[in-house]
A and B are shown apart, each in its own frame.
Chain A
Amino acid sequence: MRTANAVVRFMRGEPFAAVGAAIYAVIVIMALFAPQLAPYDPREMLRQGRRIARYLPISSEHWLGTTAGGHDVLSQLIYGARAALEVGLTAAIAVVAIGTLLGLLAGYLGGWVDKLITRIADIALGLPFLPFMLVLAALTTPGTRVVIVTVALLLWPNTARVIRSQVLSLRERAWVEAARVTGCSTARIMFVHVLPQVLPLAALYGSVAIGWAILAEAAASFLGFGDPESISWGVMLQDAYANQALGRGAWNWFTPPGLAIVLMVLSGFLVSRGSEKLLFPKLAEQ
């Protein structure tokens, strides 16, 4: 009961975070209940009489019209949430896990470990994101796996850097000293004592990382390096572009998937901005 009250108060005080969380919730619901919510099977080529129902405009049967292949746009949009969440969550977890672990090690152990990790981080930052993903996709197999790997490999330094600073300051605190003195092993101190303290910060970066992953997947799909079998917002956009939807003015087709991406990434930003005050009240007081 108390936590519920705290959450409500938080939501009222931080409208940005509340809106972000609401958008997330909608997307999660869309993904979980896609079969129930979507009016049609997204892969089904619908027909109008004897012809394929291509490029139908907005109507009461097709709230967002149909694509060049006769698929219902709205259904594709709803199912697209699944791909978005899959890619987003997996990549975010990977990035945050790697970033937190490396940041923890670098910050706590210092010395050559720190230098080594920082060097590797510099290299990761020196590699351009999209080109790397492209090349990786071309040399292995295109698909969501490549997107996730690229995100995990190239985007961890930002998280790591921040975690590292926090660990550096936590390291000097009295209770860490106390743990050291009572003979706790380094590993134990790092993972049992320090790690839980930095997790909120990691979670913050996680919510932003989901957004980056989705943008990456969309870009990859658009360039033709995504998974053509899946139904994702990026694939929808690529489909539209390739089928000259722009020239035909099929706004109903290519606007919604982009908007969906915007909303999802935006909600990540909003939640992280709003949560800062909750997780770091000291920062707000300054």
Chain B
Amino acid sequence: MLWAVATLTFLLFRLMPGDPTLNFLSPTFTDETRTALLKSFGLDKPLWQQYLIYLGQLLRGDFGRSFLQQAPVADVLLAALPNTVILTLVSLCIAYAFGIIAGAFLAFRRGALVEATAIPAALATRAAPEFWLGMLVLALFAFQLGWFPTGGAVSPGGSLGSLGTRLTSADFWWHLCLPALTLTLFLQGLPLLLMRATMLEVMNDEFIVMARMKGLSRWSIVMRHAARNALLPVVTAFALGLGASIGGNVVIETVFAWPGIGRVLVQAVQGADYPVAQGAFIMIAFVLVIMNTVADLAYAWLDPRVSVGAHR
């Protein structure tokens, strides 16, 4: 799978109509400089040779060097990756925690008015473009109210530092607030609706009827039996969501100028920095594929019907 994605990326970047180098090299380079650059990036060799070099480089974790920044692509990516991961994880966790509780609550307390308002509201958050939500949040909390910074991950004059410094810096977390809020708002709709739907299904299952027969309290029935069973698909969704968000954060990171992988990709594409763009794309795709696999495994592991074999 990973191999397939890597190969596809290679083909994508090399076989597009037109000379890819033209897109990514400045036309002010002289012919000699251009040939020299081509040679140093290995672009003058036949395609299949380039492919093998490419695979070899990938396996060694070598993504090449950035055209624009004087640094290996890997460094650029690794500096940006934690920012995306932190943003995504924080938002996903809050969104799912909220969604699960709210979803269970909605399944528990059914009522025409509650459902007529809550469900469309949740659907609406999923229907909204994330960047527009970001724009609204920015306009309100940053510009109008001035409670939060308007972008970036550090205040002017500061620098990001290592991962440890970031995690302990209050400034960092303050900057994280708005993008995280936006992302959380956007993400919570899915777990909410999913949890509610699976809860409703589970509540009709026979073992819930049995639980009532046993005289267990409603609380016990809902929390211990229904919720546990209903959580299975939600956990899978979480893993899938993690994979998808890493790539989908592109717009949020742009709105808030959050220095994550998505933003790196956008800037690289806009600035014709081909190795960085390719590297960022591969990294995002890999995370997606890995999380998809994790999701499958997680479901199998969590559901004893699948993990523990059938009767002896």
Contacts and interface: CB of A to CB of B under 8 A. Distances in A.
Please tell me whether chains A and B touch each other in their complex, using a CB distance cut-off of 8 A: yes
Interface of A: 15-16, 122-123, 125-132, 134-136, 138-140, 211, 215, 218-219, 222-224, 234, 237, 240-241, 246-247, 249, 251, 254-255, 257-258, 261-266, 268-270
Contact of B127 (A135, A237, A247, A266): A266
Interface string B164-180: 00000000000000000
A138 B129 contact: no
Contact of B251 (A126, A130, A135): A130
Given A135-B12, A135-B281, A270-B120, A251 B269 contact: no
Contacts, number: 144
A128 B254 contact: no
B43 interface: no
B4 interface: yes
B53 interface: no
Contacts of B232: none
B23 A138 contact: yes
A263 B127 CA distance: 8
A247 B143 CA distance: 6
Given A130-B251, A134-B250, A215-B127, 5 more contacts: A125-B292, A135-B265, A135-B269, A218-B132, A219-B130
A254 B284 CA distance: 30
Contacts of B8: 123, 127
Interface in B14-38: 16-18, 20, 23
Of A122, A128, A211, A222, chain B has the most CB atoms within 10 Å of the CB of A128
Contacts of A223: 250-251, 254, 266
Nearest to B282: A131
The secondary structure that dominates the B interface is helix
Nearest to B23: A139
Contact of B4 (A126, A264, A266): A126
Contacts of A246: 135, 138-139, 142-143
A211 B129 CA distance: 10
Interface stretch (B54-62, B86-94, B206-214, B241-249): B241-249
Interface in B62-84: none
A16 to B, nearest CB: 8
B144 interface: yes
Given A126-B289, A222-B251, A269-B127, A131 B135 contact: no
A270 B121 CA distance: 12
A126 B5 contact: yes
B312 to A, nearest CB: 31
B12 A211 contact: no
Nearest to A122: B1
Contacts of B133: 258
